[in-house]
Amino acid sequence: MRLVRFASGDKIFSGRVDGNDLFPVEGGAFPKEFSLSKVRLLPPSLPSKIVAIGLNYRDHAEELKLKLPEEPLLFIKPPSSVIGPDDEIVLPSQSARVDFEAELAIVIGKMARRVPRNAAREYIMGYTCLNDVTARDLQTKDGQWTRSKSFDTFCPVGPWIETDIDPSDLEIGLYLNGQRKQASRTSNLIFDCFQLVEFISDIMTLMPGDMIATGTTSGIGPMQAGDTVEVRIEGIGSLKNPVVSGVS
């Protein structure tokens, strides 16, 4: 099942996707019929936090010539960074280089605290596409990642939450102006989705709608104003966003 949030006029609805048609979720109702082509898709959840993982693809570690981590490397992206499909990524004037990072995101379905790996599936609502936009020069300058990862519009997510999918071996890629820049499979993850739920929920309580950005693969690179960047994940779909300059 594909779960979406969308806007029609000045109203916001939640529903499920079937082809080009939108239907109410169980127990809900729409005032009229909707189709994907007639509505504006919103971020599919409203997370209280986005817990992101650094250096979690073997090919990315090899690209950077770094040793594989012994434990997941965590950082946080604020909910204020979240935007939806087709929303603009705004390049901040403080940064001279802003990069794309295609990622599979886990969406939490119910409150999770100290969840063992073998029970992790029960706490996952589904999966979506995420672009962990990063001010690369500020990341290097600061030596820690909060500023570089946290600008408004730096966390595009969507287009929906896919609930019926096995995340263990999905093709993932990123396209810049239609040209493929990143390509890998989730089987290259160092710590898989269920390990991440176990590890993170042992540190902090995960709430419904929270997201775990599972890390990016090799091929990261910069974006410029006027570009269009697209994350594609097998079995989920495509998340596309235009890139614009911020106010100086």
Residues in the chain: 248
pLDDT tens, position by position, 7-56: 998 999 999 999 999 999 877 788 888 999 999 999 999 999 999 999 89
pTM of the predicted model, to two decimals? Answer: 0.96
Structure tokens at 104: 């599979």
Determine the structural domain holding residue 4 and report its residue range.
1-42
pLDDT tens, position by position, 202-240: 999 999 999 999 999 989 999 999 999 999 999 999 999
Whether 14 and 62 share a structural domain: no
Whether 49 and 89 share a structural domain: yes
Neighbouring CB atoms inside 10 A of 5's CB total 20
Query: What does residue 216 show for φ and ψ, rounded to 5 degrees?
Result: -115, 160
CATH number at residue 33: 2.30.30
Whether 150 and 212 share a structural domain: yes
Whether 17 and 82 share a structural domain: no
CATH number at residue 49: 3.90.850.10
Average pLDDT over residues 180-207: 97
Cα distances from 173 to residues 20, 178, 237, in angstroms, run 24, 11, 11
Whether 115 and 187 share a structural domain: yes
Whether 28 and 65 share a structural domain: no
Please state, in angstroms and rounded to a whole number, the distance separating the CA atoms of residues 177 and 221: 13
Last residue of a domain, one of 42, 57, 72: 42
Whether 55 and 153 share a structural domain: yes
User: What's the structural domain count of the chain?
Assistant: 2
Single-letter amino acid, residue 209: G
Whether 150 and 219 share a structural domain: yes
Whether 112 and 34 share a structural domain: no
Q: Are strands 155-162 and 124-131 parallel, antiparallel or unpaired?
A: antiparallel
- pLDDT of 26 reads 77
Whether 186 and 138 share a structural domain: yes
Whether 22 and 89 share a structural domain: no
Neighbouring CB atoms inside 10 A of 47's CB total 24
Whether 187 and 169 share a structural domain: yes
Share of the chain above pLDDT 90, in %: 85
- pLDDT of 108 reads 98
Please state, in angstroms and rounded to a whole number, the distance separating the CA atoms of residues 162 and 5: 13
